[in-house]
Amino acid sequence: MKTPRWSRASRCLPALLLSLAALPLSAQTPQTVIVRPAASAPAPSPAAKPEPRLLTPDEKRASATAPGTLRPERPALPQVAVPLERTAGAEVRTVVQTPRREADARANGGGVSDGAARCGAQKDRAVRDDCREDLRVRRSLG
């Protein structure tokens, strides 16, 4: 004899009710999941700017200004003021370097001559003394 359909369902009914009763309990438990971006994640790129539209010749003509109407915000300031006329009491000195003046400046200035420095740079004492003696002879001859 066959069992009616509802009797098979009645056998599964307790299992179905238990599973349905367990669902709300699992749904009520809070589950917090924190997802952090990876360290090598690319930064979000800003939206690309559209390129500016070129003006048509008519638009350019409409926005044009007459020559000489645009002025800078501040007037240009001269960096160096050079007087073009002679001023009273100004002393004008022109120094021309000649070999004679350069020799006098070296002799009176107390500077080191190249020859003396070259002689002083020699490693051997005898070579240094010979070099200095040659310099004295050359200076005495003129």
Which residues have CB under 8 Å from 113's CB, separation 6+? Answer: 106, 135
Q: How far apart are CA 77 and CA 117, in angstroms?
A: 49
pLDDT in tens, the chain (142 residues): 566 666 666 777 777 777 776 665 555 556 676 767 666 656 656 678 888 888 898 888 888 788 878 887 887 776 776 777 777 777 766 666 677 767 777 777 666 678 888 888 888 999 999 999 998 898 888 6
Which residues have CB under 8 Å from 92's CB, separation 6+? Answer: 86
Other Cβ atoms closer than 10 A to 135 = 15
Q: What is the pLDDT of residue 45?
A: 63
Which residues have CB under 8 Å from 63's CB, separation 6+? Answer: 55
User: 3-state secondary structure string, 120-138?
Assistant: HCCCCHHHHHHHHHHHHHH
Q: What is the pLDDT of residue 41?
A: 55
CB-CB contact of 131 with 123 (8 Å) = no
Q: What is the pLDDT of residue 48?
A: 80
pTM attached to this predicted model: 0.25
